[in-house]
A and B are shown apart, each in its own frame.
Chain A
Amino acid sequence: MDLLTTPLHDMFGPVTLSYVFLAMGLNIHYGYTGLLNFGQAAFAAVGAYTLAVSVASFDIPFVLAILLGVLAAVLLGLLMGIPTLRLRADYLAIVTIAVAESCRLIFSTQWKSHFHARDGVRGFVGGFRDLNPLPDYEGRVLSYNRNDLWVMIVGWALVALVCLLVWLLMRSPWGRVLKGIREDENAVRSLGKNVYSYKMQALVFGGVIGAFGGFIGALGNASVVPDDYNTDVTFVALTMLILGGAARVMSPVVGAMLFWGLFSFMGVLLDDVMSSNQITMIRWILVGVALMLLMIFRPQGIFGDKKELALDAR
């Protein structure tokens, strides 16, 4: 029974949720605009740390702390974008990876009185939990404690909101410019659009969505630890996006849920036969195999359009 309920439980839980946001942000960057951001974890980290430190160290009210987190993500986007977006696409990829690692190192080694190094920041979720009107939930199949449930309800509502916003934007002339840039930025430039500005908007918008992944992760764990923002976080989110199929509104959501569902399923399946270390390794190997199979048999992802993919070859 656990074999099904645990994955199902995890598919909707706070961890999946936080990845959904990361992947939704990457969908704006990579899926729609063609920007290679390998530092999405940095947006989550900066958002989460700003929220946590604002509340824990400076007693700033929860809602204001969230706004500060968003502001921090905007600044990070500008910081990454200003030097790189005029250059070739690969520069952004390199810089974002470097920025993400720098962020993590700063959080784990600097201002220890606020960041608390590897122990991380705690004691910032009170304001959020005080708003919680829910009791614990004991269903026949799934159960969640009231804290997780609160994160999930707020989180999934936000996911729905972001999906709606992305859908509205991507059918608008604004979205058309982004897709044009993805296909050929010089063509878009020749039509009089300020490509640099649009790329910056896309980077910041996707980054802010990523920061919400950071908020959700932080609130779900009730702690913010530097190791939660390793580079592989970004790559897992990218994998989820590609699994779902880039440049589709729902693909990061479904991709992330499916990914964590399978991940958790393998964990339960192998639980009796192996140590947890082995399980972790085997799981990652299987992820790699699954990704290869996906690329071979369904390169456009779950929602993608094979026809569109074929256009690249022309």
Chain B
Amino acid sequence: MPADVHNSPAGSPADSPGVPAAVAALAALETEPGVAKPDPILVADKVSRTFGGLVAVDVDHFEVQRGTITALIGPNGAGKTTFFNLLTGFDRADSGTRTFNGRSLKRISAAKVARMGMVRTFQLTKVLSKLTVLENMRLGAPKQSGERFWVGPFRFLWDGQEKENTERARELLARFKLDAKESDFAGELSGGQRKLLEMARSLMVEPELVMLDEPMAGVNPALKQSLLDHVRSLRDEGRTVLFVEHDMDMVRDISDWVVVMAQGRIIAEGPPDTVMADRRVIDAYLGAHHDTDITELDEETIASEAEAEIAAERLDEGREQA
């Protein structure tokens, strides 16, 4: 449980106050793909997966530092979701090994992986439509004695636990601004609300490592801010967060470490600022103007730059032909 992975903010005197030791330890690392972390919670080695002829994932080495927020970014189709599936046991890799907390995940079912403390959400949300929001949440609670067939009929045997779970569910729902919806069917929620519900539900499992696949997609700006705080608070509770996201503001804002995937491989990793300045990352994913706001003026300059480039290329081609 997260209790024993608590990071004291203390660290060495040189550390700035409030930075957890686990995060501070990242600063000393090389920024090369597959770099080893001082205290990895999750390690994947030589994990690959092909669909027919397409190599969707081919990761040489990947580690997640315990107690940090790690972002996994990359262009559409880079293999991020597939990698999530492989890590959590929802899909089987063609080859490779994975360990979580030092334990091998070989042949371990997705459900067992979740019980071990590694819980994921889905890019395409999976809420249980015909269960109420509150029931969705309660389902997430671990080790429920009432989930056994012989115990189920006898309410007094699971009543107490159910009350505790309900209380915890309500707290989480309140944090995610879903408390007014608790008795609605989950199928009645909007797309963004479903994202929130799924994230809240995954926290009911009390995971050590939370894996979020595009948690911010479709969530409104005001709520995004509070979600960011919430993700940070997960880290402060001692949990580890690994998330996929295309919202670069969020990535820059909360991640301690960024891993970039393209065409199934990890092409770069490092602290957010370093990675976003990396030439390969800009070429493969961000684009040259990722950190400027696109105003009309900018658009003009971009357009003229592009024209200039095209012209230059034509010139090159012309020379080659000649």
- Chain A residues with CB under 8 Å of chain B are 165, 168-169, 171-177, 179-180, 182-184, 186-195, 201, 205, 307-308, 311-312, 314
Contact = CB atoms under 8 A, between A and B. Distances in A.
A171 B154 CA distance: 10
Contact of A193 (B121, B147, B153): B147
A188 B139 contact: yes
Given A174-B148, A308-B185, A192 B142 contact: yes
Interface string B138-164: 111010101111011111001000100
18 contacts: A172-B155, A172-B158, A173-B158, A174-B151, A175-B152, A179-B131, A180-B131, A182-B130, A183-B131, A184-B126, A188-B139, A189-B114, A191-B114, A191-B119, A192-B112, A194-B112, A311-B185, A311-B188
Interface string B96-107: 000000000000
Contacts of A201: 149
A176 B131 CA distance: 8
Contacts of A314: 129, 187-188
Nearest to B136: A180
B130 A308 contact: yes
B139 A180 contact: yes
B202 A174 contact: no
Contacts of A307: 185
Contacts of A173: 138-139, 144, 146-147, 152, 158, 162
Contacts of B115: 192
A183 B139 CA distance: 13
Q: Chain A: interface secondary structure?
A: helix
Contacts of B131: 176, 179-180, 183
Interface in B247-296: none
Contacts of B144: 173
B59 to A, nearest CB: 21
A184 B128 contact: yes
B320 to A, nearest CB: 52
Given A184-B128, A311-B185, 17 more contacts: A168-B153, A173-B138, A173-B152, A173-B162, A176-B135, A176-B138, A177-B147, A180-B128, A189-B90, A190-B88, A190-B119, A190-B121, A191-B119, A192-B142, A192-B205, A311-B129, A314-B187
Which of B109, B154, B155 is the most central at the interface, judged by chain A CB atoms within 10 Å of its CB?
Answer: B109
B127 interface: yes
A41 B126 CA distance: 34
Contact of A191 (B129, B140, B149, B188): B140
B36 to A, nearest CB: 29
A37 B68 CA distance: 47
Nearest to A175: B152
Interface in B62-79: none
B153 A169 contact: yes
A189 B138 CA distance: 14
Given A183-B130, A311-B187, A190 B202 contact: yes
A291 B122 CA distance: 38
A32 to B, nearest CB: 11
A190 B140 CA distance: 9
B303 interface: no
A205 to B, nearest CB: 7
A190 B153 contact: no
Given A193-B111, A311-B187, A311-B188, A172 B126 contact: no
Contacts of A176: 131, 135, 138-139, 147
A200 B138 CA distance: 22
A83 B203 CA distance: 33
A194 B128 contact: no
Given A173-B158, A174-B148, A175-B152, A190 B122 contact: yes
Please list the 6 inter-chain residue pairs (A to B) with the smallest Cβ-Cβ separation, ordered nearest first. A311-B187, A172-B152, A174-B152, A173-B146, A192-B114, A187-B126
B39 to A, nearest CB: 24
Nearest to A188: B139
Nearest to A182: B130
Nearest to B153: A168
A171 B148 CA distance: 13
A269 B322 CA distance: 96
A263 to B, nearest CB: 31
B201 A191 contact: yes
Contacts of A165: 153
A174 B146 contact: yes
